[in-house]
Each structure stands twice: as structure tokens, then as C-alpha cells.
A and B are shown apart, each in its own frame.
Chain A
Amino acid sequence: MKRALLAILLLFAAPARAEDLVSGVSQDTIQITSNYTGTDIVVFGAIERPQSSQGRNIVVVVRGPDQVMMVRRRNRFAGVWVNSDAARFEGMPAYYYLASTEPVARVAPPDALSRYGIGLQALKPSAIGSHHDPEPFRQAAIRHLRRAGLYVESPGSIDFLSETLFRTKVPVPAGATRGQYNVEVYLFRDGDVVSAQSTPFFVDATGLERRLFNMAHNAPLYYGLACVAMAMMLGWISAVLFRRPD
């Protein structure tokens, strides 16, 4: 009886007393300029109404814009390695970064992780018009993107500045695609999400880079002609500058 009462009391008290999360990012736009070589953004947050730090975990997931990716497998054909099989994946993020207080396998059971799409193994893009066995292709895509530094799992990289205040540094590499990135911050307590918050930021080219990219796609004829004109001009100038006395 006493225990049941306590349980009811806790149940009613829970909404008011539950831990909560506020988070933010240091920048809402990253501008790609001519000397852009990648940068860091800082994701920070605070736990409101904190309870014991035992059994509590923070997970930060940064996801780039979705892309369609083509994975090809080579086979030896008459001594030469030829692309033979392919699988196409939709909904692969161009960038995926995971920071957590502990390795995610220790944070929550696999079904919870896959429900929230936490961890590289929880990435399940849809294979379209594809190979009968897309799994090795999916693994290969993740392997490639990890090697390129675009898919990163970084456990233990969340710094606590105080009991409740935390931050983590998320690298945005030079090869990052333009578009909207989403930062998701999860607060886990004993393997369950108790609070989550999502904040977007944008990666975009500015100035000359943006104008050139837009021109190459919106006015490709003039862009091509400009390339040719530049090449001819420089060739002509060099011929004049280096002209030998005949």
C-alpha cells in the first residue's frame, strides 16, 4: 500500500520535476569563403532540474542534408577491375557527427538507438531499384564517408563545465555539402530519452564562390564562354610577354 502510494505520488510529480534540456549552437550559418578549410561549431546546453548524474547521458547528433548515393562494386573481368554491381541509397545524410558522454551502445538498447537514428549503424537509408543484397553496399558507403571524415562517431567528447552545463565541438569539414544541418541533443536517463531538442544551422557559400556556383548552374553557357575567354586571354598575354625578338 505504501509503495503503491509512493508510485502514484511519483507519477504525478514527474511532469513538474522531470529533467529537461535546453541547447543551442554557436552559429546559425557557416559561410564558405575562398579560404574555407573547415571550421568548428560549438553545441552547448544545460540540464534543468538535474537529478543524479548516474544513469544520465547526453547524445548530440549532427546531420547534414540528405543525398542520393550510388555505391558501386568492382569485379575482375578479363584481368581488369570493372564496376559491375551497384546499389542506390536515398536519405543518406551528407554529414553525420555523433558526440556522446559514453559509447552509444552503453547509453541505450539498440532498438531505442535505431528509433532515434543514433549511431552510424542506425543509419538505414532506403535502397531503391537496387541490388538484391544492399547491406554490404551500405556498409561500404559508411566506411567511405568515415574515411573522408564526413561520418564521425566521437564518444566521450562532451565536456561538462559544471554539474548541468555542457558543450561539445562539432567539426564542419571543408568537404561539407551546402544546405541545412540539424543538431539534435538527447538527454537519456537509464536508456530512455527524457528530453530532446533540435536546432538547425546552415552551410552556404557566400560572395564570389556563391556567384560562381550559381552561374555555373544557372547560366552555364556564359560560364563556359567565360572560361574559354579567360584561357585565351591568359595564353595571349603570355605570348606577348614572353615574345622573343625575331
Chain B
Amino acid sequence: MEIYLPVAEMSVNWLIIIALGTGVGFLSGLFGVGGGFLMTPLLVFTGIPSTVAVATTLSHVTASSMSGALAQWRKRGIDFALAGVMLVGGVVGTVFGVWLFALMRRQGQMDLIVSLTYVIMLGSIGFIMLRESLATLKAYRSGATVSHHAVSRGWILGLPFKMRFRQSRLYISVIPPIGIGFVVGTLSAIMGIGGGFIIVPAMIYLLRMPTRMVMGTSLVQIIAVTSITTVLQATHNFAVDIVLAGLLVSGGVVGAQLGVRAGAKLRGEQLRFLLALLVLTVGAGLAWQLVARPADIYSLAEAAP
């Protein structure tokens, strides 16, 4: 049941990797996220070097996003114009992120930065989601209607370079979407994630996009960013393992479809509550690893000659 990974230069049990792909795919279909934030730490846990884990998880996210985007496309839920504008920032952010990744790897601080970024992102997003879903669940029980308090958009309306996005019925400056794209592109390269859990709230609360356009448009952005990052990771860091990617993706796409079906049976706020717990658990686990005394304070890495 062992298979040799040519780039990671190690053998893994392929059944475990496919199961991992299916499991994370199921959760990503269930919650409508790419699942990169779960996949990367889990791969590292199975002994795959973190550089390979970060770079290869992106293919898993590309595939599951592709699957979701096609479904949204049929429902005309994609604003290609807005996705294109965000991608401008995304490309710049990706190039910056891959450069940063190579720099951190040379400095020996890659693992620390990846873990810290994860703890901060997962901690804050998980906390916000938990609070929001609990409030909604409570309100639902008491029978009251919930009003979403959006972030004040005053400063966003005042920005220049306005553009009209007809499908989303928006007339906004291009600066916020480009900025969102940049942040997500950078994080994608460093963390091996698509960034859905950042783009989706940003589009809803900052850009005030209609919810039915949010999913599809963010998925297009994620496909583009993860594809570009995969190519850049392959050319700059030689860190993409195509055999590992194939196994993850094969499990992932099946799991994602099963997850979507299971998700249809649960209510939105219940899903968000469960996702918040999951996100916080992963975040807490990583935070513990940062502060707990390591078993061996020395670590060994093969260096470039």
C-alpha cells in the first residue's frame, strides 16, 4: 500500500493519503471552503515536509474549487469582471508570497511564520464565526429576525477609480477588490490555502456583493490564484509533488461532492457553528505546538550546497 513520492523523496501509504483527501474534501464540500487550512497541517502531521505540503495542497484546492465553480456557473453565479479585477491583486500577491516563502525558507523561519499566520488567521476567523453563528442560532430560537450589521463602507465609497460591475449590480472603486486579491494571493503562497474563508466575508461585508454571486466569484478567484501559485512553487521552490497531488485530488473531489450533499441537510448557521469549532480546534492545536516545549530543540534540514 506504499507509494513513492518522487519530489518529497519518501514513501507514504496511499490509502491514508486518499482517505485524507476524501475527509478534507467532505468537510470542504460541507462547509463550502477549499479545505487548504486543514490539509496543510494534516499533511505535515503525516511526516511530509512542510514546503511540499504547502505547495501541493494548492492542487487539492484548485480541484475542489473547480468542481464548485462549475455548479455556480450553471446558476449564473459568477461575476467574471469582478473576479478579473481581484485577480490583478491576486497575481501580484502570489508573486510576493512565493518570494517571501523562499526567503523564509533560507532564514529557517518558514515553519514559525506558517504556524503563526495560521494561529492568527484561524483564531480570529473562528472566533468571529462562532460569535455570529451563536447569535443567529439564539435569535432563531427566540423567533426574532436577524439583521446583519455590515461594516461601515463610508471610506470605501470615497475611493477613486470606480468601476461598474453589472452582474453584481455594484459601482465601486477597484482598490478594495485588488487589495483583497493581494492579501489572499500572499496567504495562498505562504499557507497553501485558497483563502475562501477570507474572500467570502470580505466580499459580503466590505464590497456588499449579493450573496448569490459571492460563492461562484470567489471560487473563480481561488482557482486562478491556486493555479498560479502551484506553477510558481514548482518553478521557484521545486516543492510540488505531482503523485501526492494526484492522490489528494482523487480523494478530494469525491469527498467534496459527498460533503455538498450532506451540507444540504443542515442549516447555514449550524454549519457555520460547526465550522467555527473546527477552525478553532485546528488553531488551538497549532498554537499549542508553538508554545509547548519541543521534544528535541534541535531540528535538521538538508541545505542547498
List residues of chain A with CB under 8 Å of any chain B CB: 32-38, 67-75, 79-83, 86, 88, 90, 136-137, 140-141, 143-145, 174-175, 177-178, 205, 209-210, 212-213, 216-217, 220-221, 223-228, 230-232, 234-243, 246
Closest to A232 in B: B66
Give the residue of A73, A88, A231, A243 whose beta carbon is less than 8 angstroms from that of B66: A231
Chain B, residue nearest A177 (CB) = B9
- Chain B residues proximal to chain A, CB less than 8 Å: 2-4, 6-7, 9-11, 59-60, 62-68, 70-71, 74, 108-109, 111-112, 116, 223, 227, 230-235, 238, 240, 242-243, 245-246, 249-250, 253-254, 256-257, 290-294, 296-305
Instruction: Specify which of A80, A81, A140, A141 lies most central, judged by the most chain B CB atoms within 10 Å of its CB.
Output: A81
In the complex, number of A-B residue pairs with CB atoms less than 8 Å apart: 190
- In the complex, what residues of A have CB within 8 A of residue B233's CB? 224
**Given A228-B230, A228-B231, A242-B257, 15 more pairs with CB closer than 8 A:** A36-B4, A71-B301, A73-B297, A80-B112, A81-B292, A82-B109, A141-B298, A212-B6, A212-B243, A216-B7, A224-B235, A232-B66, A234-B250, A235-B253, A239-B68
Residue from B62, B235, B297 within 8 A of A231 (CB atoms): B62
B240 touches A224 (CB 8 A): yes
Q: In the assembly, what is the distance between CA of A137 and CA of B296, in Å? A: 12
Closest to A223 in B: B234
Task: Say yes or no: B300 contacts A227, CB within 8 Å.
Answer: no
A210 cross-chain contacts in B, Cβ below 8 A: 6
Residue of A86, A143, A213, A216 with most chain B CB atoms under a 10 A cut-off? A216
B67: which A residues are within 8 A, CB to CB? 235-236, 238-239, 242
B contact residues around A74 at 8 Å (CB): 294, 297-299
B242–A35 contact, CB under 8 A?
Answer: no
Contact B59 A70, beta carbon cutoff 8 Å: no
Q: Which residues on A sit within 8 Å (CB–CB) of B250?
A: 234
Interface centre among B67, B294, B305 (most CB of A within 10 A): B67
Query: What residues of A have a CB within 8 angstroms of the CB of B240 in the complex?
Result: 216, 223-224, 227
Given A70-B108, A140-B300, the answer on whether A227 and B230 have CB atoms closer than 8 Å is yes
Pick the contact of B234: A36, A144, A177, A227 (CB < 8 A): A227
20 A–B pairs (Cβ distance < 8 Å), ordered by A: A35-B3, A68-B305, A71-B299, A72-B300, A83-B108, A83-B299, A86-B108, A136-B298, A140-B296, A141-B298, A144-B300, A177-B9, A220-B235, A224-B240, A234-B250, A235-B62, A235-B66, A236-B67, A238-B254, A240-B70
Give the distance in Å from the alpha carbon of A243 to the alpha carbon of B261 in the complex: 11
Q: Which residues of A contact B60 (CB under 8 A)?
A: 231
Cβ of B74 and Cβ of A83 under 8 Å apart? no
A175 vs B210: C-alpha distance in the bound complex, in angstroms? 51
Query: Which residues of B sit under 8 angstroms from A212, Cβ to Cβ?
Result: 6-7, 242-243
Considering the complex, give the chain B residue whose CB is closest to the CB of A246.
B74
C-alpha gap A217/B242 in the complex (Å):
13
Decide: B235 and A221 in contact? CB cutoff 8 A.
yes
In the bound complex, do residue A83 and residue B234 qualify as a contact, i.e. CB atoms below 8 Å apart?
Answer: no
Q: Which 5 A-B pairs have the closest CB atoms?
A: A235-B66, A224-B234, A140-B298, A238-B253, A224-B231
